[in-house]
Each structure stands twice: as C-alpha cells, then as structure tokens.
Amino acid sequence: MSNSIFGTVVVYFRSVFKGAWSIVGSCMTAFPYIFRWGETRKEVTEGYPDPVSSKTADDLLPRSRGLLFNDIDRCTGCRECEKICPTQCITIEEEPGADASKTWVSVFDIDFSKCTFCGLCVENCLPGSLVHTRQYEGAAYNLTDLVASFGRGQITPEHRAKWAALRQMSESDEVVL
C-alpha cells in the first residue's frame, strides 16, 4: 500500500495531521500553568532581595555549609585546618602568647574567593572553634573584601611590655607568697 499513490497521500495527510496535533498537545500541556491550576503548577521563582518570600538564614537546611567563622578565643592555632584545606585558602600565623601554654593567633585569614565550602576544616578543627555560620550572602566588589580576618593582630611591643609586667607581677607575687 505504501508504494501506491493512495498510500503516499494517506501517509502525507497523516504526517500533517500528526504534526498539527502534537503542537496542539504540547500547548495544552502548558495550558494549566497559565491559571496555576493545582499545587504542582505554582510559580517557583521569586524576587531575590525580597524581604517577604526570599530565603533567610533560618530557612536554610540544618547541615547547610555557609560562610566560615572562627571563634578566636577558643582557637589554639594548631594549623590542622590549614593543612587539610584543599585550596589553601586559610592563612595562619601564630606567636608565643602571654604564657607559654597559649599561642597568640595573630593572623587567621580565610580567603572566600578560594574556598569551596567543602567543610574539611570544620571537621578537622581540634578545639571546635571553626564553624559554618548560616550566612551565605558574601558577594563583594573587590577580591580583597572576600578575605575574612579572625586573627588577634600582630603582637606589638606594647603588648610585650604589658605581658612582661604582668608576668613580673605574678612572679613577684609568688616571691611575696
């Protein structure tokens, strides 16, 4: 039949009809979306800085890995995070502190332009001072603005002098006692 003229004509008309029908079918599939019929056809986009509907930090899922924060008071400067970091985005400098048991973490910089938020540093932090915050809006105009500094700052001679005075005081106290 397909070789006869009649068959060719039938095939021709069938293909025209199928084409037209499939276009109508596709249009009808999208039709309910115009009126948002049903729960599954709600609009999903939202304006970004929209205080009403936009996601806030509280809407984040519990394990979300946000920007990093280091509680410098608990940080021991053990450099575990610096060692494990795959992108070497953590820079640490530490100096001997007021007493020999504590180190003074003068520089603790995290370069968020390099960070991939893999979470290895948080996992390996021995004192548990490094944590993921629920902050995720870190866009900045300059690369240098992306560096977060948590360090205590370099030790100045005044610091040294003060600590020396303190140490002397405690030593002299001991002598007195």
The residue ranges that bind other proteins (CB under 8 A) are: 15-16, 18-19, 22-23, 25-27, 29-30, 33-34, 36, 40-47, 61-65, 83-86, 116-120, 123-124, 132
Q: Which of 19/127 has CB closer to other proteins?
A: 19
Q: What is the nearest approach in angstroms of other proteins to the Cβ of residue 1?
A: 20
Annotate the chain with DSSP letters as a single string: -TTSHHHHHHHHHHHHHHHHHHHHHHHHHHHHHHHT-SGGGS-----TT-TTTS--GGGS-TT---SEEE-TTT-----HHHHH-TT--EEEEEEE-SSTTSEEEEEEEEETTT-----HHHHH-SSS-EEE-S------SSGGGGEEE----PPPHHHHHHHHHHHHHHHHHHHH-
Q: What is the nearest approach in angstroms of other proteins to the Cβ of residue 46?
A: 7
Q: Which of 104/125 has CB closer to other proteins?
A: 125
Q: What is the nearest approach in angstroms of other proteins to the Cβ of residue 133?
A: 13
